[in-house]
Every structure is written in C-alpha cells, then in structure tokens.
Structure 1
Amino acid sequence: MSRREKTPFRMEPFRVDDELHRSIRVENREDAASTVPLEEALLLDSAEQRRKLILSVLMDDPVQYYDLLEQARLNDDSEVVHYAATAMAQISKQADAALQRHAARFTADPKDPAVLAEYAAALEASLALGLAQGRAAQLQRQQLERLLKMQMADQPKEEQYGLGCRLAKVQLELAEYAAAEQTLAELTARWPVRETPWLLRLRSAAARKDGAELARWLAEMERAQVYLSAAGRREVDFWKGGGQP
C-alpha cells in the first residue's frame, strides 16, 4: 500500500500512554513496509506484529495511512481496533480544526491567492479521506467549487489545466453534469491530447448511464490520439469492455 499524498494537515504526535504498549518495540516504518505489504501485515497471526504495525503508523503520520487505519478498525485484535479508531477520531478532529482555521483566514482575506489555494487544498484533502459525510460533504464540495472558480478567474487560461480538472471532478461529484461538461469541453479544446479531461468525460457518461455518449468520447479520444498513462489505458480498456472488470 502506498502512502497518500501529503495532506495540508498533519496530526500531532500520537501519545501511547499504556505501559504495555510502550514496551512494544516499533520497527523502522520504511524497513517494515519494504518487507511486508501493510495490508498483509494486518493479517499476520502474530498479535505483537500487528500491534507493532499500528503503533508505528500512529507514531509516523496517521493521515498518510488513513486507508490502513480503516482496515485496522475492522481487525479482530481489540487493541489494534482501539488504536485505529482513536487515531481516526483524532484525524477527524484535527482536520475539522484545520478547515475552521482556513475558513477564518479566507473570510478575513478572500482575495489572497495563497489563502484561496490552501483552503481549497484542505477541503480536497478532507473530502479525499471521507471525513465528512452526507450534507456536510455536499457543503464542502460546493465551497470547494466556489474556491476553484475564484482561483481560475485569477489565472491566465493557458495555466488553468490543473485547476480546471479539479473543478470538473468536484462538479461531477456534485452531479452538476452540464457544468462539468462545459468545463471539460474547454479543457479538451485547449489540451486535446491530455488524458484527465477525457477520462472525466467517460466517467460522466457512465454516471448518467449514457452508453451512446460513452462510445462517442472513446471514439473522439482515438481521433485526438490522446496520450494515455498506464492507469489511463486500463480505464479506457475498462470502458471499452462495457464497464466490466
């Protein structure tokens, strides 16, 4: 399992107060990761090894291993579950506090480009971790959409590719398909051989169960000779196969 991209918030050091767990020697994170995949380590028969793993994650940067913590929370080892659940609660609390700080800075200085960028990045990180659910997540996405539009308004069009892709992604997550298509049409017109806008178009068509449009975008991608990464090629092959793995 690879680490997540560095997030705009980092947990304070996790304190292990229980004397029993202080006595567990925590091995070097990188050495452990290079020997046994983290997901597999959670399945080891040795309770001590599982606890070493979870404690090493907690003492490193739990946010970077949030997926692993979610798996650990379902482990049959009660100690592993306890520490994973505690860490996830702490991550959520600190992420909320970070978002509140960014929101306050934005309210005080909404035209500062750095404030805009940092607030948007923090919202994206929170949404990527799935810390907010339901209506709260919806409100975060709507705010993120506004922030990205504000950032794009201050940038020359030739520099808007990254922001445009991020905007289209959140528009799709909000099921704002017409707005997303407008964003993606501009991106594919300006950068016809770059893959991300086209892949987002495929996902949009699939989300709306529009097979004809999906086929249309696949054909357009071939005509445009879109450059595909290995991951992009796998996704295109997936859709060419009718969306079947």
Structure 2
Amino acid sequence: MVEWGLAAYYLLALIYLLLSAKRGLRDFRYTVLLVAGLPVFGLPLAIIQDFAARGEAASDEERFRELMNARAASDRIFQRVNVGREVNLLPLEEALIVNETGTRRRLLLDVLKEDMDEKMIPLLEQAMSNEDTETSHYAVTAVMEIKRKLLLDIQKYSVRYEADKTHLPTQLAYAEAIQRYLNSGFMDKRTQTGYRMTYVRLLKELLRTEAASEALYADVVRAQMALGHYDEALRYAKRFLEQYETSEDAYLVLLDVYYTLQLKEPFEETLEALKASKISVSNKGLNVIRYWSAKGA
C-alpha cells in the first residue's frame, strides 16, 4: 500500500516538475531536490513556495530584465531546433534525480551516447556536482567533448573566413560557431572578451550585406553591451530604429540601452514614441509599455 502511495506521489511530482520547467519556474533545481528528496511532504512544500514566489514583488530592474528577456531564446539569430537534444533533456533530468547509483549511471551513460550540444550544459553542470564520483566524471567528460567540438567548429570556419572574408555563408557560419561557444559559458572573462570582439566584428560586416536583419542589429547591440562598449551599443541601437522604424524590437532594444545607461529622458521619449506608433505590439511589448506606464517611467 505504501509503495503504491509513493508511486502515485512520484507520478504527481513528475507532472508538476514538467509543468514547472515549461513555464520557467525559478530555483528549478532546488525544487527538484525538494520534491525528490522529501517524499509526500516535498511536493506540497514546493507548491507553497511556488505560490509565495509568484506573490513577491520584483525590483524595477529585475522586472524590466524579465520583460526584456521574455523572448531571448527565440530572438537569437542562429536559433535552430535540435530534436535529439529536446528528446534527451528529460531522460537526463530523470537520471540526476534517481536515488539508486547504478541506475543513475546507466541512465546518464545512455543519454551521453547520443549527440550532445551546448544547450545541455546546465544539466551536465548539475551532474558534475553529483556526490557520486563516477556520475560527475561522466558529466565532466561530456562537457569537455562538447567544448572540443565547439572549438573545432570555430577553427574550421576561422580558416575558411581568412581564405575569403567576403563569402557570406562562411561569415554566417563563423558567427554562429562563436555565438554557440559564447552561449556555452565555458570561457574565462579574458577569452570571452576576445571571442566577443571577433563576434561583434563579424556582425558589423554582416550588417553591410544582404544578410542584414532586425535580429543582427539586436544581437550586435547586446554584444556591445556585454563588452561594456555603451557608446557603440547606443549608436547601433539608434541605427537599428532608423533602419526599421516599424519594428517593435528596435524600440525595445533602444529602451534597454537607455535603461542600462540610466538616461531617463531619452527612455521616456522612446517609450512615448512606441506608444504613439502604429506598430502592432506583441505581448512582450505590451507588458513593457504597461509596466513603465504604471511606474510613470
């Protein structure tokens, strides 16, 4: 009877965790540990904490960043769907919460036999800190292999780019390889800065070709911001709006730069311009407008 009760509990817990992951629950890893490590009581406690967290008022900066990053994943220039990765993420999550060491190792090894990419690194980092040394060793090995493949891609396209710097497909592939490596979080600050500067240079070159797009402008501004090149970020954000006057993203990117630089008057003017425009804003844009209108900007 107790076993059936536990089975029902873990089934409900799995459903709750899947729903939580889908809607981006904060402190998701802590919630997994709470639900899995504290049978019967863990799930009610997690639900109570979830409702409490929803009721907490975020600071202006936290809320603004949350609104601005609402579509961060889908806004990426080189975004693509990796079906294999999506299929593997759930088994990897399950492997990490299994209590029996042998089963955990087997599940993790089964997942690692598949083609891994940098999007799985957050879960692999979780596995690296696992108390089982063999589990953590598997995860470290997987991370190092992903890193090796990303660097090989960068080297391959770097050579092709140096051979012909005007070849558009090579420029795009080289920029994508660097972006993937930057997003992996592998690098120390100095190395990251070097790659990001190369990435910015490539994006600027691409903006002078037929590949120029809203996404390219948005990404070059973000990259300049990450480098601390705020004057350049502002210059490209303004150019973005000049080139795409009917683009919601152009307004939002410029608002982000003004907010970061704490330029209140230009921020308010840009917000009012967005409100007065005939642009059909998305839910993200509408939330930004409502939030700052309520705050009095």
TM-score normalized with structure 2 length: 0.61
Secondary structure at the counterpart of residue 153 of structure 1: coil
1:117 is aligned with what amino acid? L
1:122 to 1:210, Cα distance in 2 relative to 1, 3 A? same
In the aligned structure 1, how far is the partner of 2:111 from the partner of 2:195? 28
Please, which of 130, 147, 153 is the counterpart of residue 75 of structure 1?
Answer: 130
What corresponds to 2:214 in structure 1? Answer: 161
For residue 228 of structure 1, report the CA deviation from its aligned partner.
4.4
Contact 2:218-2:250 at 8 Å conserved across structures: yes
Contact 1:194 1:227 survives alignment (8 Å)? no
**How far off is 1:197 after superposition?**
2.8
Q: Give 1:144 shift.
A: 1.0
Q: How does 1:32-47 map to 2 (within 5 A)?
A: 33=90, 39=93, 42-47=96-101
What stretches of structure 2 of length at least 5 have no aligned partner? 1-20, 23-72
Distance (whole Å) between structure 1 residues aligned to residue 136 and residue 292 of structure 2: 38
Q: Deviations over 1:185-207 (max 9, x none)?
A: 22223334433333323332343
Tell me by how many angstroms 1:208 deviates.
2.8
82, 87, 94: which one aligns with 1:30: 87
**Alignment pair present for 1:50 and 2:107:** no
The Cα of 1:44 is off from its aligned counterpart by 3.4
Q: Deviations over 1:182-238 (max 9, x none)?
A: 222222233344333333233323433445544444333322355444455566667
Q: Which amino acid aligns with 2:137?
A: H
Of 215, 233, 252, 1:199 maps to: 252
Q: CA deviation at 1:116?
A: 1.0
CA deviation after TM superposition for structure 1 residue 102, in Å: 1.3
> Are residues 70 and 234 of structure 1, via their aligned partners in 2, closer, same or farther at CA, if it must alter by over 3 Å?
farther
2:139 maps to which of 71, 74, 84? 84
1:103-153 deviations in Å (ceiling 9; x for gaps): 111111111111111111111111111222211111111111111111221
**Secondary structure, aligned partner of 1:188:** helix
Alpha-carbon distance in structure 2 between the residues aligned to 1:82 and 1:237:
48
CA distance in 2, matches of 1:234, 1:138: 33
- Structure 2 CA distance for partners of 1:86 and 1:169, relative to 1, 3 Å: same
Closer, same or farther in 2 for the Cα pair 1:57/1:241, shift >3 Å?
farther
More helix by share: 2
Question: 1:145·1:170 contact (CA, 8 Å) conserved in 2?
Answer: yes
Q: For residues 31 and 131 of structure 1, what CA distance do their matches in structure 2 show?
A: 21
Q: 1:218 to 1:97 in 2, by over 3 A?
A: same
2:189 is aligned, of 116, 134, 154, to 134
Shift in alpha-carbon separation, 1:104–1:210, aligned structure 2, 3 A: same
User: Contact between 1:66 and 1:129, CA under 8 Å: does it hold in 2?
Assistant: yes
The corresponding residue for 2:5 is none
Are residue 59 (structure 1) and residue 113 (structure 2) matched? Answer: yes
- Note if 1:109 corresponds to 2:156: no
Structure 1 residue 121 corresponds to structure 2 residue 195: no
Partners in 1 of 2:161 and 2:168 — Cα distance?
10
What are the ranges of 5 or more consecutive residues in structure 1 without an aligned counterpart? 8-28
The change in CA–CA distance for 1:209 and 1:104 in structure 2 (over 3 A counts) is same
TM-score relative to the length of structure 1: 0.72
CA deviation profile, 1:79-121 (whole Å, cap 9, x unmatched): 2211111111121122222211211111111111111111111
Instruction: Give SS of 2:190's match.
Output: helix
Q: 1:196 to 1:47 in 2, by over 3 A?
A: farther
Cα RMSD (Å): 3.4
**Equivalent residues of 2:89, 2:120 under 8 A apart:** no
Secondary structure, aligned partner of 2:218: helix
Fraction of identical pairs, as percent: 25
